[in-house]
């Protein structure tokens, strides 16, 4: 039988086969999982080993396990609390940034840029300058209250459910400027407050103590658990309120729980080491390139990569200003400022 061109045209037309999507290569999955973990482990070793007295990995290990070694006091009383606080604060800020970006649908959302850290700072400045509070155990409750109040204020001023990324950013910038002016005024009016908070306001891990770590850990743990539990509901909320309701989600409850999680994370981190900016902005974008937008993978990776970034900034500050040090908050601001401008320009072009 001869098949002519006309018979081909008149015959049934078959739709092209749809090939199933290719699975991600195993190497890519392993890199997504183990890359941030390996980066964190490397930074942990550097954080414990570098300082006014550099130590080799063998000396660090001896300082961790041998109570009779000369390195034991240095490691356990100075560097280990500092490293653990960096782990907790970094995870808190990174996950808080990921939750805020998902909740507000704003890729520029960050606890520092939207004024939440400033709210915690203003509350701590009030406690130190006007009420005479001088311990972390007192600071942390004021910091949590300040972070919660500003979270609600920024969301309300930005338009609530009708808020756009631009309105939220403008509301956060205005409240941020007003609160930091108040913090600076409080410090200038009270000499004791100035002496206590002049290094705290730039964000630093240098004053970490084992008691501080023990106090901040429960708040960070509660915030992380709540944020991770919200990963699936926040994925549904990204589709819009109506779609989220059709999937069984409750948008108002999800937003309230997300604000509680961000308050716990940002309030505890800010009370412990001061306002550190751009960690919550940079890390979710870096992680999203590895995992995609699914918060079930993004948030756990943020909890691993953000401490690596914060501890890396702390280590870099110790190296560049030796024998002194540059506070971690200054280093993250220097690194994050150009990245923020890049994201703004890219969003304007889009």
Q: How does pLDDT run across 90-146, given as a tens digit for each residue? A: 999 999 999 988 887 878 777 777 788 888 888 888 887 777 777 777 778 888 888
Provide the token pair at 132: 């005479």
Q: Which residues contact 245 (CB under 8 A, 6 or more apart)?
A: 251
Q: Are the C-beta atoms of residues 118 and 150 closer than 8 Å to each other?
A: yes
Whole-angstrom CA distances from 149 to 118, 297, 302 are: 11, 30, 25
pLDDT at 13 over 50: no
Phi (first) and psi of residue 112, to 5 degrees:
-80, -40
Q: Are the C-beta atoms of residues 248 and 304 closer than 8 Å to each other?
A: no
Query: Can you tell me the mean pLDDT for 343-348?
Result: 62
Q: What is the pLDDT of residue 99?
A: 93
Provide the token pair at 334: 């220097």
Q: What is the pLDDT of residue 224?
A: 96
pLDDT at 333 over 70: yes
What does the alpha-carbon distance between residue 109 and residue 106 come to, in Å, rounded to a whole number?
5
Q: Which residues contact 89 (CB under 8 A, 6 or more apart)?
A: 205, 216, 220, 269, 272, 273, 276, 307, 310
Q: Are the C-beta atoms of residues 98 and 295 closer than 8 Å to each other?
A: yes
Provide the token pair at 55: 């130590």
Fold of 81-349: ABC transporter involved in vitamin B12 uptake, BtuC (1.10.3470)
What does the alpha-carbon distance between residue 43 and residue 56 come to, in Å, rounded to a whole number?
14
Q: What percent of the chain has pLDDT over 90?
A: 21
Q: Which residues contact 286 (CB under 8 A, 6 or more apart)?
A: 305
Q: What is the pLDDT of residue 185?
A: 82
Query: Can you tell me the mean pLDDT for 226-234?
Result: 94
DSSP secondary structure letters along 64-121: HH-TTSTHHHHIIIIIHHHHHHHHHHHHHHHHHHHHHHHHHT-TT--TTTTTHHHHHH
Query: Can you tell me the mean pLDDT for 325-350?
Result: 75
Q: What is the pLDDT of residue 3?
A: 44
Split at pLDDT 50, 70, 90, the class of 261 is very high
Q: What is the pLDDT of residue 161?
A: 63
Split at pLDDT 50, 70, 90, the class of 301 is very high
> Which has the minimum average pLDDT: 52-56, 95-99, 293-297?
52-56
Q: Between 102 and 32, whose confidence is greater?
A: 102
pLDDT at 21 over 70: no
What does the alpha-carbon distance between residue 211 and residue 192 come to, in Å, rounded to a whole number?
23
Q: Which residues contact 138 (CB under 8 A, 6 or more apart)?
A: 127
Q: Between 190 and 147, whose confidence is greater?
A: 147
Query: Can you tell me the mean pLDDT for 242-253?
Result: 83
Distance of CA 136 to the CA centre of its chain: 21
Q: What residue segments make up the domains of the chain, in order of their start?
A: 81-349
Provide the token pair at 85: 């606080």
* Residue in this structure with the two tokens 């973990």, named with its chain if needed: 37
């Amino acid at each position: 039988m001869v098949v002519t061109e006309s018979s081909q045209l008149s015959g049934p037309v078959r739709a092209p086969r749809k090939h199933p999507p290719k699975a991600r290569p195993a190497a890519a999955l392993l890199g997504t999982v183990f890359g941030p973990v390996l980066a964190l482990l490397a930074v942990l070793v550097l954080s414990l080993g570098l300082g006014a007295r550099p130590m080799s990995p063998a000396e660090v290990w001896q300082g961790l396990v041998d109570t009779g070694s000369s390195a034991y006091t240095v490691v356990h009383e100075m560097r280990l609390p500092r490293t653990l606080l960096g782990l907790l604060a970094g995870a808190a800020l990174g996950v808080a940034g990921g939750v805020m970006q998902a909740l507000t649908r704003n890729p520029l959302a960050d606890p520092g840029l939207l004024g939440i850290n400033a709210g915690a700072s203003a509350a701590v400045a009030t406690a130190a300058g006007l009420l005479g509070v001088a311990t972390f155990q007192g600071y942390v409750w004021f910091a949590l209250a300040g972070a919660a109040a500003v979270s609600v204020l920024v969301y309300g001023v930005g338009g609530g459910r009708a808020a756009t990324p631009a309105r939220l950013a403008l509301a956060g910038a205005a409240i941020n400027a007003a609160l930091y002016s108040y913090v600076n005024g409080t410090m200038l009016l009270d000499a004791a407050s100035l002496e206590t908070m002049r290094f705290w306001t730039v964000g630093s891990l240098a004053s970490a103590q084992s008691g501080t770590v023990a106090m901040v850990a429960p708040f960070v743990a509660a915030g992380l658990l709540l944020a991770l539990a919200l990963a699936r509901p926040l994925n549904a909320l990204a589709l819009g309120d109506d779609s989220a309701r059709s999937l069984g989600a409750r948008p108002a409850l999800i937003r309230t729980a997300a604000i509680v999680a961000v308050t716990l994370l940002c309030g505890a981190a800010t009370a412990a080491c001061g306002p550190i900016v751009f960690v919550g902005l940079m890390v979710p974008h870096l992680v999203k390139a590895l995992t995609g937008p699914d918060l079930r993978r993004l948030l756990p990776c943020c909890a691993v990569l953000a401490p690596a970034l914060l501890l890396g900034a702390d280590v870099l500050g110790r190296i560049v200003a030796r024998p002194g040090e540059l506070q971690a908050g200054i280093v993250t601001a220097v690194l994050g400022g150009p990245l923020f401008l890049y994201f703004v320009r890219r969003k304007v072009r889009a």
